[in-house]
Amino acid sequence: MKKLKRAVLIGFPNVGKSSLFNKLIGRRKSLVHSLPGMTRDAVTAACRIGGRDVELVDTGGFYGSVEEPLSGKVREHAWREAEGADIVILVLDSRRDLLPGEEDLYADLKKRGKRILVAVNKVDSAAQEARLGDFYRLGGEDIIPVSAEHNRNLEALETALAGELPPSTEERVDRSPLRVAVVGRINVGKSSLVNRMCGEERLIVSPLPGTTRDSTDVLLRRNGRTFLLVDTAGLRKMGRTRDDREKAGILRSKKSITQADVVCLVMDARECPTRQDTAIAHLARDSGKALVLAANKWDLVSGEPSAARRIRENVFRKLEFVSYAPLLFVSAKTGVRVARILDEAAAVYEEAGRRVETHELNAFLERTLAAHPPLTKDGRRVKVKYMVQGGVRPPLFILFGHSGSRLAPAYESHFLNLLRREFGFRGTPLRLMFRRG
């Protein structure tokens, strides 16, 4: 999976990392994702700075409140973010002295051979800039005084950053990544899967309750395509009882599904589909979004005889209404077929956007009407004259006929099945409308 160079903003609380991040990406219209009203630990954006492509990462939330029970772990994770970075942008605050911790951080990163740019933030005036002597202890040439709030000297930081990046190749940043909502019950392994897809541990996975975040987005590239994975872990804190948690989970999934291009419903291969899986699958179908089903923890069941067949039958018996969706047996633990999720997501998205020529549709209609004459709800025959595709994502088909009354639902689903058999549309729900005309 080809990825962009990563530039990671690191710094202590309140130095203005997030403001700086927002300014760096907000000054150009290349922000690839922004989910208003959602809290995230690491925010990632692909953007072009000084004519060069970079993945900019804000680790803002990693240093959350000091009361955070796992702050040690969270902090350690921020270190790991720094380690995974090609360039570290260490953000400092000019309004207070350099902290010993910051000096240590700088020295440590330097020792590990990291390329570091030091941005001293909140330098709102030239007079303030003259008083920065203390900060030059860190190694003069890399120090860039900026003010995120007053847009001061941001060009200098951008130029320095661009200087660290390779010239952009033909493979430009994809301006519209495919948004994949990774949804499912708690503990089915959503975060682990997303981590696995990234090829490195980017999200926090912890077996302890109360440790997952609200939402974390990850941007990655595979086969020349950019994916934005919207991970919806973090439901544990939302309700006390199992029922409450389920409801909260479903609500949340609904939100990410609305914002996604493709839904990936992750289930636990040992126990699927559950009631909540079914509820989420319903949401996916009703939203009209393309869907990929992933039965995770395959490593735990693959030893059983005919496990795949048994699970497949069980899944599609209960989730018959999404039988159009591909089902993958994956393991975040071993990595088996995990990358296929992305390939399938791309494939079902393509299918959902496909158009069938009107003459092909009408040839199909003619054959179908002869073999299966359409009926209305109350069992009367209907004359259908022709058919067109009225839209995509999801594909919408409009039948024009003489009667104003609806077709019988059973006939509709039968008709759609025949349509699928003829034209495919794997992974996407279909819509059918009947119009007088």
Chain positions contacting ligand GDP, by CB under 6 A: 184, 186-192, 205, 207, 212, 233, 296-297, 299-300, 331-333
Q: How far is CA 40 from CA 46, 78, 187, 234, in A?
A: 16, 14, 19, 11
**Minimum distance between the CB of residue 369 and ligand GDP, rounded to whole angstroms?**
47
DSSP assignment of 320-388 equals GGGTTS-EEE--TTT-TTHHHHHHHHHHHHHHHT----HHHHHHHHHHHHHHS--BBTTS-B--EEEEE
Q: Which of 135, 149, 142, 143 is nearest to 94 (CA)?
A: 135
**Minimum distance between the CB of residue 215 and ligand GDP, rounded to whole angstroms?**
11
**Minimum distance between the CB of residue 207 and ligand GDP, rounded to whole angstroms?**
4
Of residues 25 and 345, the one with the C-beta less far from ligand GDP = 345
Strands 87-93 and 6-11: parallel
CB-based burial, 382-408: b 16+ in 10 Å, e otherwise = bebeebebeeebbbebbbebeeeeebb
> Within a 13 Å sphere around the CA of 191, how many CA atoms are in the beta-carbon half?
19
**Minimum distance between the CB of residue 170 and ligand GDP, rounded to whole angstroms?**
36
Of residues 205 and 369, the one with the C-beta less far from ligand GDP = 205
**Minimum distance between the CB of residue 431 and ligand GDP, rounded to whole angstroms?**
31
Query: Cis peptide leading into 36, omega within 30 of 0?
Result: no
Q: Are 246 and 276 in contact (CB under 8 A)?
A: yes
- Measured from each CB, the residue nearest to ligand GDP is 189
Q: Are 277 and 196 in contact (CB under 8 A)?
A: no
**Minimum distance between the CB of residue 304 and ligand GDP, rounded to whole angstroms?**
14
Of residues 189 and 394, the one with the C-beta less far from ligand GDP = 189
**Minimum distance between the CB of residue 71 and ligand GDP, rounded to whole angstroms?**
19
Of residues 113 and 207, the one with the C-beta less far from ligand GDP = 207
- For 417, other C-beta atoms within 10 Å of its C-beta total 13
Strands 290-296 and 384-391: unpaired
Of residues 188 and 387, the one with the C-beta less far from ligand GDP = 188
Token code pair at residue 48: 């072009």
**Minimum distance between the CB of residue 268 and ligand GDP, rounded to whole angstroms?**
8
Token code pair at residue 361: 């549709």
Across the chain, how many H-helices and E-strands are there? 12, 15
Of residues 203 and 219, the one with the C-beta less far from ligand GDP = 203
Of residues 212 and 253, the one with the C-beta less far from ligand GDP = 212
β-bridge partners, 393: none
Of residues 332 and 399, the one with the C-beta less far from ligand GDP = 332
